[in-house]
Amino acid sequence: MSKADRIFIDNCREILTKGVWDTDLPVRPRWEDGTPAHTAKRFGIINRYDLREEFPILTLRKTQFVNAVDELLWIWQKKSNNVKDLKSHIWDAWADGEGSIGKAYGYQLGVEHRYAEGLFDQVDRVLYDLKNNPASRRIMTNLYNHHDLMDMHLYPCAYSMTFNVSGGTLNAILNQRSQDMLTANNWNVCQYSVLMHMMAQVSGLEAGELVHVIADAHIYDRHVPIVEELITREPLPAPVLEIDPAVTDFYAFTPESFTLHDYRWHPLKEKVPVAI
């Protein structure tokens, strides 16, 4: 059975039984009808996924793997902040009339900085160090640029990746300030697991452990019944991720480079409302 399911179940049970509700506080998110979207939360959840054991995708419900990969490539490969470069419509609510989400996500990764070796943006610096300085403890990215926050239509949630090479294994820590457990938790886990596989493959390494650190892990009030039903389900076996072995250039990956074999999931019984 999928270990990602077990981690998700444990997280959700902890939030539902020990979480703190924010119903006595003013909150920014709203439901489509304008009602405040309140949450129960746990602070400081840390999950570990060993990518050598399985690909961590939920089977309790379907994770839209293709769209998740497309968004990952939109941010990390295209370094775009325009929804017109994205196949799905998950960012439409945050885009202006030109399709821009401001100086957020992909924009930050594409800004060049000067190093002793020359100019690099954040992604290219990671790729350079993985090949040339694998013992470095400075291989990281950060999207939370305070100088540009006012020009971002949404502050980054998953904001930092720290990469670390141990022998021939690539490990990483994903830092996330905020996590909507039902709609976004496994989406992000899948994305950054794929990113680790991409970075590892083009650097001659093996993808190892992804450590996911969540500052504010929460479940929205209208999601509680759905989550309560999900965590009663029996997890199914994890699928197998296949990556095109011919790709050796990070920028040559496409959504078609990734295939999930034998992915089975339980269907959702109702549509999930989205807070914005």
In a domain, 248, yes or no: yes
CA atoms within a 13 Å half-sphere pointing along the CA-CB vector of 69? 17
pLDDT for 1: 77
CA-angle at 103, arms to 275 and 214, nearest 5°: 50
Does a structural domain hold residue 81?
yes
| Spatial distance between the Cα atoms of 77 and 252, rounded to a whole number of angstroms | 9
Residue 28 tokens, joined: 């920014």
Q: Is 179 annotated among the ligand-binding residues?
A: yes
Q: Which two tokens stand for residue 43?
A: 């602070």
Q: List, in order, residues 6 or more apart from 35 with CB less than 8 Å away.
A: none
Structural domain total, the chain: 1
| Short-list 37, 17, 14, CA closest to 27 | 37
pLDDT value of residue 257? 98
* 220 in a known ligand binding site: yes
Q: Find the CATH number of the domain harbouring 252.
A: 3.30.572.10
Which two three-digit tokens encode residue 86? Answer: 């994205």
From residue 241, give the alpha-carbon distance in Å to each of 56, 121, 191, 260.
10, 29, 12, 5
Secondary structure (3-state) at 83: helix
DSSP string, 147-162: GGGGGBSS--SEEEEE
Residue 275 domain flag: no
CA distance 216 to 218: 6
Residue 270 inside a domain? The answer is no
- Domain containing residue 21: 3-261
Amino acid at residue number 65: F
Give the contacts of 80 (CB within 8 A, at least 6 positions apart).
74, 86, 106, 107
Q: Is 233 annotated as a binding residue?
A: no
What does the alpha-carbon distance between residue 94 and residue 208 come to, in Å, rounded to a whole number? 34
Quote the pLDDT of residue 40: 98
What is the set of active-site residues? 157
Integer-rounded Cα Rg, in Å, for the chain is 19
The verdict on whether residue 186 carries a ligand-binding annotation is no
Closest among 147, 137, 59 to 108, alpha carbons compared: 147
Domain annotation covers residue 240: yes
Q: Was 177 annotated as part of a binding site?
A: yes
Regions of the chain short of the pLDDT cut 50: none
pLDDT of residue 47: 98
Q: Kindly tell me the sign of the dihedral angle through the C-alpha atoms of 77, 83, 86, 89.
A: positive
- Whole-prediction pTM: 0.97
Please check if 201 is assigned to a binding site: no
Residue-level pLDDT at 275: 94
200: annotated binding-site residue? no
Spatial separation of the C-alpha atoms in residues 120 and 50, rounded to whole Å: 30
pLDDT of residue 166: 97
Distance (Å, whole) CA 49 – CA 192: 11
272 located within any domain: no
Residue 266 lies in a domain: no
